[in-house]
Chains A and B, each alone.
Chain A
């Protein structure tokens, strides 16, 4: 039963073949048994989860269920949830209990989903391997000596190991798609502005976007149906009618134009990954899609541009963690500045401090024009490249990550190598576009590989349609890691 998708579980619940309490106990049991070896969760709360499950059962009994009612889920630990610790994987917020709910958390509560826990993550979502968490690295269920990707590594690993049917994540530079690729799960990052950022602890405000992990594209559509929608508390939330992301899942792919960016298929891409992605594209063609080569001429600038803009915003966003009102405060200090210095030196890990320093530097007087302003200009060029490409195609396909999961510790001493993990995902964030990753085979060491699909603005339904049709013809997404039974 733990291997079922949301839609399959929902019909069990609806038909009273299982109760939410049973389901919740099942997954809580799996977490208790398997998570010690994975470290996917920072907080699990059985009591709250079971209370939620019983409320869902009452709702199911009254026939007032939504597709998510009674389904156990997990939130990445940067979504504020009232009464829950919300740590962002940081010592700075290790004991912070949120007094309010994020919009996303509220939406899942309203839908009747059962929150079982908060998942591990790179500290403040800064990382591509989940090794920067204050709570220790998350292990990849496919090989526990390897990383699950990041920053939403906990959510990815939890879904991959079937500890929850689905989980939320956030994607600032690839933090959903890259871990989805590395863990053989399906993950989507919607268009910037589709999901409210209210209550989602900010890393880089202009790039952050909430999204979801699931075991299928169809589940991702169900998750988006809950998460997405206008929220007046987020000024960057886009006011548009609520849509059903599952509405065109069944559409055949005949006539679909798939763009293949020539900059994605180069020597930077590992041959095993390239082989899986190429095979996946062949499957789309077999279903009637046509391919067209497109070009994203500024692709090479995406990573450098990102590592100016994201740290700049982060350096300011993280200023509120000053030890004054909440969070960690150094025990001993001489004066105010000493308190700030010690609190932040103790509270933030090395990667966060590195990005705060970089961000502070690029915004400084005399450097702003050369770095921040220049990066913003190139960012517009990158977005324009996509607009140009979408004139010739409906979706863009390519790899989500350049390699399969790498061993824990391999890239921690070389930040630039780590940053290149997001080579194929970052430009999507810079352009504000939606992107997803679905499993498309296994590469070296029998590790999963993801196919990335990039859509035009607010074209999630079409992307999900393509992914779903692909999943109808393949079973990569149904494979689960060994030893999780």
Chain B
């Protein structure tokens, strides 16, 4: 039987506010345990939450970026459960009335665009951390993270493969950084995904029973976990079994998901509106003022790159995968004065390879947009060949200076003076009498060998087309 995979993602994006969502404590990562936990964060008796305006503004930015409805009135609710790293015994979240609803995200998979609809995005506070390793027979509690603002972004079950889920997660990851609401640091947990996965017979309209997979802190794990989970569910059903609705944990060591709790064990969270917080009211004027500060969005930029620059959808998608890379590309095009496709080839080729090697963003590239533009110009005007230009690029990456200086210093200028090439050709013909004879005897291969000799003699600097023409003329 053919199976269709159905995936929805719940993503927690940590909002990049300096202070927590309901207290004035810092949200900086990596401080000594419990040094960033105020009376409010540790839930002393009598303390009260006060909403951070910056967190709301970031939710508005997100809503605007995905074309969602931003609620004029949304409500904070308490999600009640006991856990040692949840100081109040409840998490302040949004339940029935979230701040953002609807909207969508466009993803590109194999050069094809696809729309993933969003259900909602709501504001909530993070819990602290339980540390089980360092305390023999006990658990440590670090409440530095307690109260960190999160935007939980819930997608519709619109994805049909692990690849689509990864493309969605990457697009969302890029978007939240693009609009400046989340630093996207997955190692530090600033961007975390849970995947709801189910399978159904191809063509079926009815959704299968889903499992929620947690602990997916990299795109690779997201992909692996979904692939594993799909195999598990299909095998289960084909063996006559049934998928149980449950929460499963991804184990990266074993490369498998395992059951964490079943639906029957699920908490009754007893959600109710938090009486300590008034309903959140967002006036149209606030939305308008946030809108005025929004940058051009990656989707719009991608379409523009395709329409105005003649780039392919995949290349345009890659160029807009981060705001820094897109800005880098646009700057190169501006400085070259056009030729976007040549610029795109360099940015997507040598530059991206360099950035990946160094694990840095485009805005921290050792080769600045001006430097790359200088090199691209020299390729376009024939000063250097494409092949030589790669050498120049590496030299620029190593800090040897601008393209022109490197070309001069290393003598890499392409030889296009006819007289100079003729002299070189004469030398090669004189030194390779056998090849000349072979050619004249009808061995075509000998001609290519002679071209090779000319290139070698010129250290690759001769324009190959010119060398060809002159050689042909000389050999009559």
> Which residues does A use to contact B, with CB under 8 Å?
78-80, 86, 88, 93, 96, 98-100, 102, 197-202, 204-206, 232-236, 312-313, 315-316, 318-322, 324-326, 336, 340, 360, 363-365, 368, 372
Contact = CB atoms under 8 A, between A and B. Distances in A.
B268 A236 contact: no
A199 B90 contact: no
Given A322-B89, A325-B42, 15 more contacts: A79-B46, A80-B45, A80-B46, A93-B45, A96-B45, A100-B39, A198-B47, A198-B48, A202-B46, A234-B48, A236-B278, A312-B272, A315-B80, A319-B88, A364-B268
A206 B90 CA distance: 17
A197 B90 CA distance: 19
Contacts of A98: 44-46
20 contacts: A78-B46, A79-B46, A86-B45, A86-B46, A88-B45, A100-B39, A198-B48, A201-B45, A233-B48, A233-B50, A234-B50, A235-B49, A235-B51, A312-B272, A316-B89, A319-B80, A319-B89, A324-B84, A336-B84, A340-B82
Nearest to B79: A316
B37 to A, nearest CB: 10
Nearest to B80: A316
Interface in B65-103: 78, 80, 82, 84, 87-90
A205 B275 contact: yes
Contacts of A236: 275-276, 278
Residue from B45, B46, B47, B87 with most neighbouring chain A CB atoms (10 Å): B45
A197 B46 CA distance: 7
B455 interface: no
Main secondary structure on B side of the interface with A: loop
Given A316-B78, A322-B82, A324-B141, A199 B47 contact: yes
Contacts of B48: 197-198, 233-235
A324 B48 CA distance: 19
Interface in B81-132: 82, 84, 87-90
B348 interface: no
B44 A80 contact: yes
Of the listed residues B88, B89, B277, the one surrounded by the most CB atoms of chain A closer than 10 A to its CB is B89
A41 to B, nearest CB: 19
Contact of A325 (B43, B80, B82, B275): B43
B270 interface: yes
B268 A320 contact: no
Nearest to A93: B45
Contacts of A368: 270, 272
Interface of B: 39, 42-51, 78, 80, 82, 84, 87-90, 141, 268, 270-272, 275-278
B234 to A, nearest CB: 32
A362 B276 CA distance: 19
A197 B277 CA distance: 12
A320 B87 CA distance: 6
A360 B276 contact: no
A198 B44 CA distance: 11
Report, nearest first, the 10 A-B pairs whose CB atoms are least far apart.
A319-B89, A363-B270, A206-B275, A205-B275, A201-B45, A199-B46, A320-B43, A201-B46, A80-B46, A365-B268
A267 to B, nearest CB: 35
A360 B270 contact: yes
A306 to B, nearest CB: 14
B270 A320 contact: no
B88 A320 contact: yes
A312 B77 CA distance: 13
Contacts of A360: 270
A4 B49 CA distance: 40
Contacts of B42: 325
B404 to A, nearest CB: 60
A372 B44 contact: no
B52 to A, nearest CB: 12
A245 to B, nearest CB: 24
B87 A325 contact: yes
The winner among A78, A86, A325 for most chain B CB atoms within 10 A is: A325
A316 B80 CA distance: 7
Contacts of B46: 78-80, 86, 98, 102, 197-202
A320 B45 contact: yes
A120 to B, nearest CB: 17
B276 A320 contact: no
Contacts of B275: 204-206, 236, 313
A312 B42 CA distance: 22
Nearest to A324: B84
B122 to A, nearest CB: 18
A464 B268 CA distance: 46
Nearest to A124: B45
Given A235-B50, A235-B278, A316 B270 contact: yes
Nearest to A319: B89
Contacts of A201: 45-46
B263 to A, nearest CB: 12
A195 B279 CA distance: 20
B90 A316 contact: yes
A80 B84 CA distance: 23
A177 B143 CA distance: 40
A136 B45 CA distance: 22
A326 B82 contact: no
Contacts of A336: 84
Given A202-B46, A233-B48, A326-B44, A372 B272 contact: yes
B270 A235 contact: no
B366 to A, nearest CB: 48
Most chain B C-beta atoms within 10 Å of own C-beta, residue among A200, A206, A322: A322
A343 to B, nearest CB: 11
Given A198-B47, A234-B48, A316 B39 contact: no
A79 B276 CA distance: 17
A308 to B, nearest CB: 11
Contacts of A199: 46-47
Contacts of A372: 272
A86 B47 CA distance: 13
Contacts of A340: 82
Nearest to B49: A235
A100 B272 contact: no
A78 B45 CA distance: 9
Q: Specify which of B48, B51, B88, B90 lies most central, judged by the most chain A CB atoms within 10 Å of its CB.
A: B48
A98 B44 CA distance: 8
Contacts of B39: 99-100
